[in-house]
């Protein structure tokens, strides 16, 4: 069943633009479960990209690399997170964060 998109006060989830992200909350993304169809590090990266504001994402990437995770892991289509963020119109900040961390397309 398709419903209309909720806006303003009718939204069921809060916007993430103005909230503070603690280190613990950011690091909790690294423990996300993955499906059998998706590479674990790619899954974590895409979830962080979709769920975090750029400042939190930048801190997440530092934790991610420090933990020895693979920033260049590809999805089942052979795409890296940098390739995906580079193609999205409003994701320039995310792509720059990834490039500065050594990500490759």
| pLDDT (tens digit per residue) in 74-97 | 999 999 999 999 999 999 999 999
Q: Residue 34: what pLDDT?
A: 79
**Distance from C-alpha of 21 to C-alpha of 73, rounded to nearest angstrom:** 25
Q: Residue 7: what pLDDT?
A: 61
Q: Residue 86 class from Cβ within 10 Å (0-12 exposed, 13-18 middle, 19+ buried)? A: middle
H-helix segments, 10-104: 23-28, 40-51, 54-66, 81-87, 92-100
The reply to whether the predicted model has a pTM over 0.85 is: no
Report, as an integer, the average pLDDT of 15-34.
82
């Amino acid at each position: 069943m398709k419903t209309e998109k909720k806006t303003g006060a009718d939204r069921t989830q809060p916007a993430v633009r103005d909230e503070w992200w603690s280190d613990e909350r950011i690091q909790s993304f690294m423990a996300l479960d993955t499906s059998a169809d998706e590479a674990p590090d790619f899954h974590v990266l895409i979830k962080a990209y979709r769920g975090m504001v750029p400042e939190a994402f930048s801190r997440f990437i530092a934790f991610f690399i420090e933990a020895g995770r693979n920033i260049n892991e590809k999805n089942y289509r052979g795409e890296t997170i940098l390739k995906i963020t580079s193609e999205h119109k409003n994701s320039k900040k995310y792509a720059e964060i990834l490039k500065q961390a050594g990500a490759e397309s």
